[in-house]
Amino acid sequence: MITDCHVHIGKSTWIQIDVAAKELIAAADKSGIDRMMVTDLTALIYDIEEGNRLIREAIADYRDRMIPYYTIVTGRHGKKVLEDFERYVTDHGFRGLKIYSVPPLQLIDDPYMIPFIEKAAEFQIPILAHSTGEECESLSRQVPECILINAHMGCCPQAHGDWHRSVAAAKAYPNIYLDTTSSSFDNDMIEFAVAEVGAERILYGSDLPLLDPTLQIAKVTESEITQEQKDLILHGNIDRILKRRDSA
Amino acid sequence: MILDVNGYFGTWPYWPMKGTDPQSVVEKMDRTGIDRVFINSLRSVFTDPLHGNRETLEVVETFPDRFYPALTFSPYSPGYEALRSILKNPPKCIVKLFPLNHSYQIHEEPKVEEILRICGEKKIPVFIPYRLIMSWRLPTMNYGSLGGVIGKFPDTHFILGSINYLFELQTARFLLRTYSNTSLETSAMMAYREVERLVDEFGAGRFIHGSCVPLQNPAIGPLKIKAAEIPDEDKEKIMSGNLSNLIGTMV
Ligand SMILES: [Zn+2]
């Protein structure tokens, strides 16, 4: 059983991606991924309202396999987008918020982002934050009830690949989770994270269709941790987090 | 049979890393089915190419069935003359250049040109990693300036390595397209269907398996090739055939 917490859909010239739901399902089938949490590229880099509408339509036939994040490129569009976000969660079953840090100008702990973080915390839905460990710490101080997934656990250019820093952030704040997807397969990385914060705080992600999910799954299955820990990372933890909305 | 062009041993300076001694590298190879690795001492990367190469040769002597030497030098550290004399009558080996760690530009250095010339004559492959391991923490090379050098030494075979995706892969593809004396090593290729796309574009003959053992999880290197949807004979070329052929032509 595998639930993938980090998948993209739609179009981006920047990462040279143009992918439809059907193709993602085929890739998931090939790699043995049961469910995917999906974020729209148009919403992430161009037009928030259009992008979130596109993903709602695109995955309509696959709701048993695809769980949508509401995605925003910035918090600065304010109230109108915040209300849109609320509607997508309450009316359309969106089950996460995806945010993206653009240093040095728009960090995810930007004051304009806080209302979105508060709203996600109120809904008890996870926030996939492509950011540094420091930014996740800052958000955790400001909104301690939020459920933050530090995308790539620091293994992205924004966070300078510093997964030690992200592990330290998760160690300091119990609401911070670490997403395993990235181009990095450093020896001992998963083992170190499990030893420091526990397998309960680590979530498997693939970054499909940018990265190869077979390799990302192997990052977990080929690490030297117990089968029980692997199962938590591959699906148990995110499945548990997703239930929090239902009981919120 | 799995050959691996990209392995190390020694101290990893940036964070604690388990199992980087030669015996542990062999154990990791056993676990992941890697038969033989071109290995070089991290000492030769960070502090001392002369003694690092000696360590490398000693380790290869201790595990002659598991390792081949990857030798290096810097135009600005002791070890140039020693390498030249090794290369007069070389063991089966590759030469690996670390301009990022040794602070030079390949196209500006007469001593580097001399080594490249010798490697051309002796048919010793030259491996130039774009980065040390696939970590966003570490610096990357200016690969754009390599074209001139590769073109200047048509008898030398260049292995380009630790390339991931987008811009850096586009530069590598440009070099593969332009210069037939190049191959691409696979240790940092993580993009979805990348192996399939590259084999489709260039043919499997241009790719060489690397795992970056023990610095990266060595299970991923072979899995990347095994899981790719390409014919078995293409997998065999990438896993071992291409590198065997290169080493087989050594004079
Ligand atoms: Zn992503």
Cα–Cα distance for residue pair B181/A220, rounded to 1 Å: 37
Q: In the predicted model, is pLDDT for residue B251 greater than 80?
A: no
- Provide the pLDDT for residue A106: 85
What does the pLDDT average to over A149-165?
Answer: 96
Answer yes or no: do B214 and A187 touch at CB < 8 A: yes
* Residues shown for chain B: 251
Answer yes or no: do B136 and A160 touch at CB < 8 A: yes
Q: What is the pLDDT of residues A37-47, one digit of tens each?
A: 999 999 999 99
Q: Which residue of B has its CA nearest to A223?
A: B217
Beta bridge partners of A100: A130
Q: Which residues contact A127 (CB under 8 A, 6 or more apart)?
A: A96, A97, A98, A99, A117, A120, A139, A146, A147, A148, A149
- Provide the pLDDT for residue A118: 98
| Chain centroid to CA B104 | 18
Could you tell me what percent of chain A has a pLDDT over 70? 100
Exposed / middle / buried, residue B64 (Cβ in 10 Å: 0-12, 13-18, 19+): exposed
What does the pLDDT average to over A219-225?
Answer: 97
Answer yes or no: do B192 and A209 touch at CB < 8 A: yes
Distance B243 CA to ligand 1 centre (A): 34
Q: What is the pLDDT of residues B121-136, one digit of tens each?
A: 999 999 999 999 999 9
ipTM: 0.95
Answer yes or no: do B190 and A215 touch at CB < 8 A: yes
Beta bridge partners of A186: B216
Q: Which two tokens stand for residue A174?
A: 């119990």
Cα separations (Å) of B237 from A107, A172, A207, B1, B134?
46, 48, 29, 10, 23
Domain containing residue B231 = 3-248
How close, in Å, is residue A167 to chain B by CA atoms?
13
Torsion of CA A22, A28, A33, A35, to 10 degrees: -20
For residue B215, report the phi and psi dihedrals to the nearest 5 degrees. Answer: -80, -30
Q: Which residue of B has its CA nearest to A158?
A: B136
Cα–Cα distance for residue pair A129/B27, rounded to 1 Å: 37
- Provide the pLDDT for residue A12: 95
A16 touches chain B (CB under 8 A): yes
Cα–Cα distance for residue pair B162/B98, rounded to 1 Å: 12
Cα–Cα distance for residue pair B30/B26, rounded to 1 Å: 6
A1 touches chain B (CB under 8 A): no
Contacts with B, A 75-134, CB within 8 Å: none
Q: Which two tokens stand for residue A154?
A: 């620091």
Cα–Cα distance for residue pair B190/B203, rounded to 1 Å: 19
Distance B123 CA to ligand 1 centre (A): 42
Q: What is the pLDDT of residues B197-227, one digit of tens each?
A: 999 999 999 999 999 999 999 999 999 999 9
Q: DSSP label at B139?
A: -
What does the pLDDT average to over A31-38?
Answer: 98
Distance A211 CA to ligand 1 centre (A): 9
What does the pLDDT average to over B153-174?
Answer: 97
Answer yes or no: do B133 and A186 touch at CB < 8 A: yes
Answer yes or no: do A187 and B215 touch at CB < 8 A: yes
Cα–Cα distance for residue pair B9/B212, rounded to 1 Å: 10
Answer yes or no: do A214 and B165 touch at CB < 8 A: no
What does the pLDDT average to over B38-52?
Answer: 98
Q: What is the mean pLDDT of chain A?
A: 96
When divided into structural domains, chain B yields a total of 1
Q: Which residue of B has its CA nearest to A30?
A: B227
Residue-by-residue DSSP string for B204-237: GGGEE----BTTB-TTHHHHHHHTSSS-HHHHHI
Question: Alpha helix locations (H) across A21-69?
Answer: 21-31, 41-45, 48-58
The size of the A-B interface in CB pairs under 8 A is 82
Q: What is the pLDDT of residues B76-101, one digit of tens each?
A: 999 999 999 999 999 999 999 999 99
Chain B residue numbers touching A215 (CB-CB < 8 A): 190, 220, 223-224, 227
> Given the structure tokens 């071109």, which residue do they identify?
B38
What does the pLDDT average to over A209-234?
Answer: 98
Could you tell me what percent of chain A has a pLDDT over 90? 96
Q: Three-state SS for B79?
A: coil
For residue B108, report the phi and psi dihedrals to the nearest 5 degrees. Answer: -105, 0
Q: What is the CATH number of the domain that holds B78?
A: 3.20.20.140
Exposed / middle / buried, residue A116 (Cβ in 10 Å: 0-12, 13-18, 19+): buried
Q: DSSP label at A76?
A: T
Cα–Cα distance for residue pair B185/B7, rounded to 1 Å: 12
Q: Which helix (H) or strand (E) holds A244?
A: helix A237-247
Work out the pLDDT band at A192, boundaries 50, 70, 90. very high
CA nearest neighbour of B102 among B83, B121, B124, B122: B83
Work out the pLDDT band at A248, boundaries 50, 70, 90. low
Q: What is the pLDDT of residues A64-82, one digit of tens each?
A: 999 999 999 999 999 999 9
Q: Which domains does chain A have, with CATH numbers?
A: 3-247 (3.20.20.140)
Q: In the predicted model, is pLDDT for residue A160 greater than 70?
A: yes
A162 touches chain B (CB under 8 A): yes
Q: Please say whether the beta carbons of A70 and A26 come within 8 A.
A: no
Answer yes or no: do B220 and A164 touch at CB < 8 A: no
- Provide the pLDDT for residue B83: 98
Q: What is the mean pLDDT of chain B?
A: 97
A161 touches chain B (CB under 8 A): yes
Q: Which residues contact B91 (CB under 8 A, 6 or more apart)?
A: B57, B60, B68, B69
Work out the pLDDT band at A159, boundaries 50, 70, 90. very high
